[in-house]
Structure formats: structure tokens, C-alpha cells
Amino acid sequence: MRQKADEWVNPGMYTRNVWFTDKDENQALSLKYTGEVFHDVQSPFQRVRILESPKYGKLLTLDDMFMTTENDEFHYHEMISHPAMMAHGNVKNVLVIGGGDGGTVREILKHEGVEKVTMVEIDGEVIEACKKHLPSIAAAFDDPRLELIVGDGIEYVKQAAAGAYDLLVVDGSDPVGPAEGLFSVEFYQNCYNALNENGILIAQGESPKFNENAFAELNATLRGLFGEDKAPVSLFYVPTYPTGMWSFQYGIKGNINMKSFADQAAADAFVDAKGLRYYNTELHTASFALPNFVKDLLK
Ligand code: SAM
């Protein structure tokens, strides 16, 4: 579990060599930042800060955790979106839980076949901070296909119509504070019900190297609900999360094979047309190949 960072230093005191540290009890990742704090608001849910790193550009932190940076956000946002979109091939109705920075809906809405995306983010302060300071990430909030709801995603899926969605994306933070319930069996049971018979669930899956227990427990929950061979895991590299190795975890309700494509030529053409910088079809397939120690964690 990630811990509180060191005592927040007064940024006015320093002009150089100021570090923000995201850590658990054993290891940490630090990024130097410029000393300038663009946004620092304690919302009812968490402390929302926008800082700037010389290497990674402007970045969002929630409480004491890195969430996203201008420089590497595409690793996460392309990989949370496009593999499921390409494997399914006919996604029209999407529910996104969390994702307040806007990067996930930006990527999903690049697909012209998508008719509607409902995004439920608990903290309006995250949305406002990102619109103001991270406009390249919060770039699709004006898309007419997006319905943006500020509210609790856990409550939202409880009352969602059965079989409503082709794709359900859980773009939440670590299992602390408002996101704790985003790791419960009850929440994923409700997600399962909200998906249609060919639906796909994808969730921010934690790290098999940084927080093994949360990673393995989430997969056990998904295997229990969707089936033993219906909860594949993909890995991707994200430099600004501790250890750099992170995962997305899936729940497949029908018979879609996540390693393949509804139409590979169309997927390749999409990658070129949209100028994607992380996702491609080779990487899509490869991201489901797991090191043996990760396979062991999932047994
Ligand atoms: N997209 C990101 C990235 O690039 O790594 C990080 C995700 S971050 C924006 C996760 C979001 O989930 C936060 O904005 C947080 O407020 C939201 N969240 C946490 N618990 C939630 C809940 N119960 N319902 C809806 N949103 C929630």
C-alpha cells in the first residue's frame, strides 16, 4: 500500500532539487519538480495537486501518489483503451469509472463507432484541475458523445441497467480512500451485471512488483466472477509509477480473445491515422505474455 509522502516542503523555499516521493513501506519513486505548485486543493476526497517536473512536464498527484504526467500519460491511456476496443471491434456504449484526468475518454472517443461514453468520477476537483492545467489530457470533455457525471462509481454501477454496456473501464486509483471499494467483489459483481453478453471489463490492475497482494486479489475476484480463463492480465511500462511495471486486468463475459483483433488491418490503420505512440497490434498481443513470477502470483 502506498504511504504518505515526506512532509510537504514549502515550495517557495527552494528553486531547485525539490523532490516529490511516492512510496510504500519498502520502496519509492521520486521525481524532481520545478518548485512551482500550479494547483493544491484539498477536496472532500483527496489532496489534488498539479506540479511540474523538468523531465515529465506537468503532473497530477492525488494525496501522495503520482497519477499521470504530460510526458508518459499515453502509455497508460492508450493501453487502458485500445486493446479492448480492438479485440471487441464493435464497442458502442461505454462506462468509465474514475478517469478524472480525461485521458481514457479521450482515447476511447477516438473510435468513431463509439456512440456514447458515460464517465462517473467521484471528485469534480480532479476534472477541473486537469481541464485547467493538463488540457492535452483533458481534451475530450466537450465531445457530445460524452456524459460526464460527478458521483460515486460504486453507487452508479449498483443501479446500472443489466446488460447496458459493451465496455466498462475502471480507471481508478489505488485501493485507499474513495477507491477502496473499486476493489471489492460486490463492485465487480455489479460491473459484471452491467455488461452485455459480449461485454469486456478492464480495470487498472495495480503492480505485480510493487503491490503484489492487491494485484493478485483483484485477479482472484475477476476469475471468480468471469471464469478461470476469462480474466486475462496485460502488463505495460509506466515510468512514473513505482517500479515502472503496471497492469490492466480484464473480465471477459463472452468469447472474445483479448490477444486477437476483430480486424487487424483496421486496427493497424487506426494506429497510423491517430498517431498512437504506445499501442500497436504487436504490442497488444505481447502485453498479455507474462513473466513466470507473475503467472505464479495469479495461481
Ligand atoms: N488515468 C490515470 C492515469 O493516467 O494513471 C489515473 C487515474 S486517476 C485520475 C483515478 C480517479 O479515480 C481519480 O480521479 C479518483 O478521484 C477517481 N475515483 C476514485 N474512487 C472513485 C469512485 N469510487 N468513483 C468514481 N471515481 C473514483
Rounded to the nearest angstrom, the distance between the alpha carbon of 118 and the centre of ligand 1 is 14
Q: How far apart are CA 132 and CA 114, in angstroms?
A: 26
User: What local confidence, expressed as pLDDT, does residue 34 receive?
Assistant: 86
Rounded to the nearest angstrom, the distance between the alpha carbon of 5 and the centre of ligand 1 is 19
Instruction: Characterize 240-269 residue by residue with b for buried, 16 or more Cβ atoms within 10 angstroms of its Cβ, and e for exposed.
Output: bbbebbbbbbbbbbeebebeebeeeeebee
Cell numbers at residue 194, please?
Answer: 452491467
Beta strands 116-121 and 146-150 are parallel
| Distance, C-alpha 202 to centroid of its chain | 9
Task: Name the pTM for this structure.
Answer: 0.94
User: What local confidence, expressed as pLDDT, does residue 285 receive?
Assistant: 98
User: What local confidence, expressed as pLDDT, does residue 1 receive?
Assistant: 52
Do 277 and 78 meet the contact criterion of CB atoms below 8 Å apart?
yes
- In tens digits, the chain (299 residues) has pLDDT values of 555 544 444 444 444 568 889 888 888 899 998 878 999 999 999 999 999 999 999 999 999 899 999 999 999 999 999 999 999 999 999 999 999 999 999 999 999 999 999 999 999 999 999 999 999 999 999 999 999 999 999 999 999 999 999 999 999 988 888 888 899 999 999 999 999 999 999 999 999 999 999 999 999 999 999 999 999 999 999 999 999 999 999 999 999 999 999 999 999 999 999 999 999 999 999 999 999 999 999 99
Catalytic residue among 171, 263, 268, 296: 171
Rounded to the nearest angstrom, the distance between the alpha carbon of 299 and the centre of ligand 1 is 28
Among this protein's residues, is 171 annotated catalytic?
yes
Nearest to 256 by CA among 79, 107, 92, 89: 89
Ligand 1: residues with CB < 6 A are: 45, 62, 67-68, 73, 76-77, 97-101, 103-104, 120-123, 126, 152-154, 171-173, 178-179, 181-182
Q: Which of 41, 64, 67 is the best mutation target for the ligand 1 pocket, counting ligand atoms within 8 Å of the beta carbon and taking the most?
A: 67
